[in-house]
Structure 1
Amino acid sequence: MESNLNCRNQEHPEDGGRRLWLKAGVSAVTLVAGAGFTTGAAQAAALTKAQRDALTPDEVIGIMKMGNERFRSGRMKKQDFLAQKRASAAGQYPAAVILSCIDSRAPAEIILDMGIGDTFNARVAGNIANQDMLGSLEFACAVAGAKVLLVMGHTACGAIKGAIDNVQLGNLTGLLETIRPAIAATQYTGERSSKNEAFVDAVAQSNVRQAITTIRGGSPILVELEKKGQIRVAGAMYDLRNGEVTFL
């Protein structure tokens, strides 16, 4: 079976890109599309170093937005995960690192329509940025070459509700303490409780911004990469109801 799969994989030239990652609308896409991309076709290989390095941070974000549009419309690309697994086994060249929540309804790779090898994915309740997370983000960008650092919160976040309610539960207590400054920073004139969905979502957005501030304040390495234009640090919110990712 593996032999047959390898034979099919060889039908795609290595320099053909074979990724819908780079489709329509940006200069890097135009460059690679001429090498054999076909919109809507199943793609067989993981993102290569050459393809990733040819992208700008803004182009990577544009590709993320297109992926979310495919997800929302039900027209997600056909993923050949086994081929992507084989192609990326010897090395990985993700274009982005995504810091998101552990919520089971918000898997970043799926809602942005990505495949194996496309993104680093860091998940922790409330998408907070602590010292360990900063080290992981530095690895993704400074060592492995990711072009975008995206902090993504989501609506109806349980960690945000827990922080608002001052929940005390083992190690979770300290994690929620990290979120609480975002509550005070949220300007909101209505009911400031976890029962108010609009307030919870407003705090979640403040928490995304707070995580970005923490990242910039805690990592001179990432700040320098951002100043040089080598990476872009961005925030986003995912709406559990309609599937839309909104970049802040």
Structure 2
Amino acid sequence: MRTHTKETQSSMTPEKAIQFLKEGNERFVNNLKANRNLLQQVNETSTGQFPFAVILSCIDSRTSAELIFDQGLGDIFSIRIAGNIVNEDILGSMEFACKAAGSKLVVVLGHTRCGAITGACDHVELGNLTGLLKKVEPAIERETQTQTERNGKNTDFVTHVTENNVHLGMEQVRKQSPILAEMEQNGEIRIIGGMYDVETGRVDFYEA
């Protein structure tokens, strides 16, 4: 499989970009890989890059977007931060990816058994991590199904908060980036969410 060019990126639609990721994850789950010459892709991307998607995911060592979506060099922009939270710098990176570099898809990707989300549910305080985890609090507040044991030991509670955090991330992208919101309204890009299961390797997408 060859790396993306300006031509293939330009002809890519947001819907096709989603399909690319779905097909890549299906290969990953089935322990298959597209045939790529990574050294050739080094040469092909040496003078420029034309990624079709930008993916915000957690720093968790099990959730490398390139691996779980079976993508090669130059295929995706990968933004990683604990808890896949959204901040000004991440929004700026997404705006660069889409408005300046031509990507057609923004994905906010959470994952099961997330240590950052669990820490936020337990109100962990540790240096600069304290401020980061506070950004997860709106997702905790939105979780109203659980009335007792609202902590990191309650797997269902953590899962619900993790899902909320993804949906809130999508909302934040739209509300806090007029550039990306307008691009989505014009059909130039899509903003979607997803949840990676660390036990199965499968990604479930939230396309609304």
TM-score scaled by length of structure 1: 0.81
The structure number with the bigger radius of gyration is 1
Percent identity over paired residues: 49
Amino acid at match of 1:222: L
Say whether residues 1:234 and 2:192 are aligned partners: yes
Aligned ranges 1:140-151 → 2 under 5 Å: 140-151=97-108
Partners of 1:105 and 1:72 lie apart in 2 by 13
Note the 1:172-211 alignment, pairs <5 A: 172-189=129-146, 191-211=149-169
Spell out, residue by residue over 1:114-173, the C-alpha distance to the aligned partner (whole angstroms, 9 max, x if none).
Answer: 000000000000001101111101000010010000000000000101111111111111
Question: Per-residue CA shift, 1:206-246, capped at 9, x if unaligned?
Answer: 00111111111111111110110000000000000001100
1:102 aligns with 2:59: yes
After the TM superposition, which segments of 4 or more aligned residues of structure 1 sit over 3 Å from their partners? none
Question: 1:65, 1:192 → 2: CA distance?
Answer: 33
Task: State whether residues 46 and 85 of structure 1, in contact with CA within 8 Å, keep that contact through their aligned partners in structure 2.
Answer: no
1:50-61 correspondence runs (5 A): 50-61=7-18
Q: Deviations over 1:172-210 (max 9, x none)?
A: 111001011101102323642211222211111100111
User: 1:216 — aligned with what?
Assistant: 174
Instruction: Tell me how far apart the structure 2 counterparts of residues 192 and 181 of structure 1 sit (CA, whole Å).
Output: 14
Q: State the AA in 2 paired with 1:97.
A: V
**How far apart are residue 53 of structure 1 and its match?**
1.1
Residues 1-248 of structure 1: matches in 2 within 5 Å? Answer: 43=1, 45-189=2-146, 191-248=149-206
Q: What's the CA shift string for 1:71-108, capped at 9, x where partnerless?
A: 00111213211111110110100000000000001101
Q: Which has the higher contact order (CA 8 A, sep 6+)?
A: 2
